[in-house]
Amino acid sequence: MSASEFSRMIDLRQINDQPIVLEPDEVERRRLAGRFSISAIDTMKAELQLAVDGSTVEARGRLTARIVQACAISGEDFPVAIDEPIDLRFVHPTAFQPDEEIEITADACDEIEYEGTAFDLGEAVAQTLALAIDPFAEGPDADRARAEHQLGGDVATGPFAALSALKTKD
């Protein structure tokens, strides 16, 4: 497994009541943009409050970012603002039998396993950003590109018009 582009290891023994602010530098933002196949990450900031309960750590806060991504229709870059809540739980792996059936609840979907006394909060924030990016986002020129390339989805004039005509013939 390759190293994370935005690694911020947090040791359980160092967690206190102070909020944590994570901001990748320019190189980290460039690498993350490459990883997520977007044009750029202009800004990215996570403000989190950590709470320890035994070996479980809850991380709650917000992720804000300004990214540049390609329009799914025109391919042209456009800016996107991201503002996402973060609600993660870092947990130690639980012992289970390999053939045992496991029920995953909605809460368990945001659980991240870690071993030892530290976990990578930066990577978890990076993954939160990845999930917030809409891969089908449309930029301001999407309608123009649709019209120019006849991507309206109209069966009467689109690429399936001939098939539609065959269907109606008897």
147 is in which domain, residue-wise? Answer: 142-170
Domain match, 119 and 40 both = yes
Q: Inform me whether the pLDDT recorded for 135 exceeds 50.
A: yes
Same domain for 167 and 124: no
Same domain, 33 and 112: yes
Q: Per the domain annotation, does 129 fall within a domain?
A: yes
What average pLDDT score do residues 128-151 get? 87
Above 70 in pLDDT, residue 158?
no
The answer to whether residue 42 is domain-embedded is: yes
Q: In terms of domains, do 162 and 101 share one?
A: no
Residue 4 lies in a domain: no
Residues 39 and 68 sit within 8 Å (Cβ to Cβ): yes
pLDDT band with cut points at 50, 70 and 90 for residue 74: confident
Residue 98 has pLDDT above 80, yes or no: no
Q: How many helices (H) and strands (E) does the chain have?
A: 4, 7
DSSP state of 109: G
State the Cα–Cα distance between residues 19 and 17, nearest whole angstrom.
6
Whether residues 13 and 51 fall in one domain = yes
Q: Note the pLDDT of residue 163.
A: 61
**Residues 3 and 29 sit within 8 Å (Cβ to Cβ):** no
Kindly state whether residues 33 and 105 are assigned to the same domain.
yes
Instruction: Give the C-alpha separation, 170 to 160, whole Å.
Output: 18
Q: Is residue 46 part of a domain?
A: yes
Whether 1 is in a domain gets the answer: no
Asked whether the predicted pLDDT for residue 87 surpasses 50, the reply is yes
Per-residue pLDDT reduced to its tens digit, 24-38: 999 999 999 999 999
